[in-house]
Amino acid sequence: MQALKKLLKYLKPYWVAALVAPIMMMLEVAMDLLQPRLMETIVDQGIANLDLNLVIHTGLLMIGVALVGMVGGVACTYFAIYASAHFSADVRSALYRKVQTFSFGNLDALQTGQLVTRLTNDVNQVGMLVQSALRIMVRAPLILLGSLVLAVITSPSLAVLLLALMPLLLLLVWWVTRKASPLFSAVQAGVDGVNTVMQENLTGVRVVKAFVRGDFEKQRFGVANDVLMDRTIQALQLMAVVMPAMSLVMNLGLVSALWFGGMQVNTGSLQVGQLVAFINYLLRALGSVMMVAMVIVQLTRAVASADRIAEVLDSHPDVQDAPNALTPAGVRGRVVFENVSFGYDGEDEAVLKGVSFAAEPGETVAILGATGSGKTSLVNLIPRFYDVKDGRVTIDGQDVRALDQAALRQAIGVALQEVVLFSGSVRDNIRYGRPEASDAEVEEAARAAQADEFIRNLPEGYDTLLGQRGVNLSGGQKQRLAIARALLVKPAVLILDDSTSAVDATTEAQLQRELQAWMRGRTSFVIAQRISTVLNADRILVLDNGRLAAQGTHNELMRSSAIYREIYDSQLGSPVAA
């Protein structure tokens, strides 16, 4: 409930609508409660005395009261929807802005499927509660209170029935509240599971088809879907019991009122119009309790969603700027690792252990090693995608943790291992990191990345629209666009993380020649699987199980490093003896 209270601050900008909606609902309730009294007048005075004039006038008054009530109800709904829709939009925007501040570690912990659920389903649940709070949660207690008072005024003797039935209904409401909360929390977790599987499957659908794993993925989705189904059934079965039980109590009250009221009519102690009015108030009172029960169920769902939203909003980025973060000016690009150790949260073993080296401005540093040796983890520490556990990483003598993140990353160009492209034109994707770049600069970067030729062969050239994640391009084409995007930033430090793995050898050779000109004067880190890519690097780092096993030029490492020679022989030399 605390999380829900915190979210109410997003309703403050719309306080006028949030205030007018309940006032309009009060008007509607007042008109509704007036109707049975007017009906009583028609029956007991108009019909009983054969006063047609009174019947007509009172009937017209009932129509007028109904119209006023309708105006109040429509106005309440309008303002409630306005306030709740804006509230939901603001909460969703706050969530999205928060996610943009997260470091890679936060995103590792809060998976994409969960974040999608929280940005959509959970926000919708809380928004619907706000709408209900401004309508039903105002209407139900007012109708209940007004009906009880007017029922007592109409027939004090029959009002005892309400006092007898209310505890039963309130007991049911309490039971629903206690049972529903954990059930709907489990439902939301089930939605997370379905979204995660679906998102993974749709993203990797080509891999699924390539390995003929459609049946497996169907089974995996089926398991997550069945979990959600079972949890939803449990939650809705609760409602299947509660609502009929409440209807039974209401019908018992109606039958009892007709029975005892009928006897009082026969004895003359109660008039027919009074009985009609009392039954109307009875049904309104009991119906309002049912509305309260429905809102409480909605409340439990919204509380579960609010907790999940608050978990994201209350999360603090693992990587944060220092209080007096420095803005580097004129970055030269001297990168130094000083006894750096690093490990991912939740993992016992460190990924990098005591790594130390220095990359001088303008040097090209290649990083080799087996899968899992820590190559990507190492370069991720330079732009502070993660923070070191021990030691430090410096640029031009400044610890990267003391630098402003945005300014630091603007000085670094990155072509990540997993290429991500966005829906939009080829041109816009290349200048994603530098939107103000001219068309000429975009094309220059594309030529350097060996992408210009295939781009011009696309239907609309640089203005060709890409599908989601660049699905209409080959793997090599996407990698070259990613390299062009990194080059266009004109960074002081360039990081290419296995960014030519899908490029053919001929294109890669041309790309290397072009990149040498771009890398001149820039510190470059190149992770590559092909050793031929890095033979001419100024410095080659060889990682083995998270440790820096060797470093030097190609010739130096051929003399001093058995691991490097093994890699070289396996790719370019004679096979290594078993």
Q: Over 60: is that where the pLDDT of 186 sits?
A: yes
Taking residues 34-58, what's their average pLDDT? Answer: 87
**Class assignment of domain 2-313?**
mainly alpha
**Inter-axis angle of helices 15-41 and 136-154, nearest 10:** 30
Q: Over 70: is that where the pLDDT of 571 sits?
A: yes
73-118 tens-digit pLDDT: 999 999 999 999 999 999 999 988 888 888 888 777 776 657 777 8
Name the helix (H) or strand (E) containing 170: helix 159-203
Question: Pairing between strand 465-466 and 424-425?
Answer: antiparallel
Q: Do 431 and 514 meet the contact criterion of CB atoms below 8 Å apart?
A: no
440-478 tens-digit pLDDT: 999 999 998 888 988 999 888 999 988 766 667 888 888
Q: Do 320 and 367 meet the contact criterion of CB atoms below 8 Å apart?
A: no
Strand partners, 551: 541
Q: Do 426 and 451 meet the contact criterion of CB atoms below 8 Å apart?
A: no
Q: Do 387 and 318 meet the contact criterion of CB atoms below 8 Å apart?
A: yes
Q: Over 60: is that where the pLDDT of 574 sits?
A: no
CATH of domain 333-411+523-578: 3.40.50.300
372-400 tens-digit pLDDT: 888 989 999 999 989 999 999 999 999 99
Tell me what pLDDT residue 80 has.
93
Q: Do 136 and 291 meet the contact criterion of CB atoms below 8 Å apart?
A: yes
Q: Over 60: is that where the pLDDT of 206 sits?
A: no
Q: What is the pTM of this model?
A: 0.72
Q: Over 80: is that where the pLDDT of 332 sits?
A: yes
Which residue spans of the chain are classified as CATH 3.40.50.300? 333-411+523-578
Q: Do 527 and 498 meet the contact criterion of CB atoms below 8 Å apart?
A: yes
Would you give the DSSP letter of residue 531? G
Which residue spans of the chain are classified as CATH 1.20.1560.10? 2-313
